[in-house]
Amino acid sequence: MDSLMIMMGGYYSGFWIMIPALILMFWAQIKVSSTFAKYSRVPSLSGVTGADVARVLLQARGLDIPVERTERRLGDHYDPIKKVVRLSRGVHDSTSVAALGVAAHETGHALQHADAYGPLVARNAFFPVAGFASRAMGPLIIASLFVGLRFPPILYGLLFCFAVYALFAVVTLPVEFNASSRALKLLGNAGILTADEAPKARAVLNAAALTYVASAVFAIMQLIRIFLVSRR
């Protein structure tokens, strides 16, 4: 048992530095879930569904991009490869203020793609590297439990993976913030949300943005922790 704790101590040493980031991530998840649940019970006066909103906004820009329903809960996203907006059932078929905000946000990503928005282009270009780092991170963490972090290939491998993870999380922030600002502007210009409904949609999008901020903070703190451990 003592030898096992010593082996595990390498990777998990300094884990206390992660506690604030973990609390932030936990709070962000609670915030986004509670905010979406609250405003998903508030029907919009326009009576249109999330799918309707996405199609209207795309057509207004002359974009022939399909809008599909996905059965995956919280699976709302824009697929830049297949060029399709996918909305979960709770957004696709709902007329709530929350659903319209989320649908417009995902449509905002499609508009970013059409406009070749710089941060989105950078994130998409960086995605293969981030994917490789994500796949390599698990085996490296497991290996570090047995050989520790003093073995150079493990140490530098983890530093690389967490650096890539942190950079990708930071690059994602302007992409998400811009999509939300586009969404609110589009909904207002199209007259889909009233002046009273717009702040409610903004609250939903702000709560969702907080999860990306928490993810970026978590990634940066992980990188700092591994770096500090490596300096010992």
Q: What are the DSSP calls for 92-110, one per residue?
A: HS--BHHHHHHHHHHHHHH
Amino acid at residue number 38: K
Is 106 catalytic? The answer is: yes
Q: Is 49 buried (19+), middle (13-18) or exposed (0-12) by CB count in 10 A?
A: buried
Q: Which helix (H) or strand (E) holds 128?
A: helix 118-147
Distance (Å) of CA 226 to CA 44, 80, 170, 222: 47, 33, 18, 6
- 128 token code pair: 């293969």
Q: Determine which one of 71, 106, 176, 197 is catalytic.
A: 106
Strands of the chain, DSSP E: 67-70, 77-79, 84-88
Backbone angles phi, psi at 43, to 5 degrees: -70, 140
- 175 token code pair: 């992409």
Q: Which residues belong to the active site?
A: 106
